[in-house]
Amino acid sequence: MDKKIPWNGKNVKEIPCFGCSKRQIGCHSVCETYIYYSEKRKKELEKKHNSDDFYSLRKERAIKYLRRGKR
């Protein structure tokens, strides 16, 4: 979470949470909106990762099948 943001050079922890009504700096770990967003994003990434794994596995099998026919 200490990534630098290019447009203002601040750390993520130094920026107030936009979904929070308190608008406190560094409230990302306790803000309900941010927690909901991060969990939703995590599920999306896992789903995308699983689909990528499936297609990469199919691609590897296709390559092996093509190589087997050329022998």
Is 18 exposed, middle or buried, given 0-12, 13-18 or 19+ CB atoms closer than 10 A? exposed
Confidence of residue 36 (pLDDT cuts 50, 70, 90): confident
Q: Predicted confidence band at 56 (pLDDT cuts at 50, 70, 90)?
A: low
Read off the amino acid at residue 63.
I
More confident residue, 63 or 3: 63
How many of the other CB atoms lie within 10 Å of CB of 54?
10
The answer on pLDDT for 21 being more than 70 is: no
pLDDT for residue 67: 74
C-alpha–C-alpha distance, residues 19 and 48, integer Å: 26
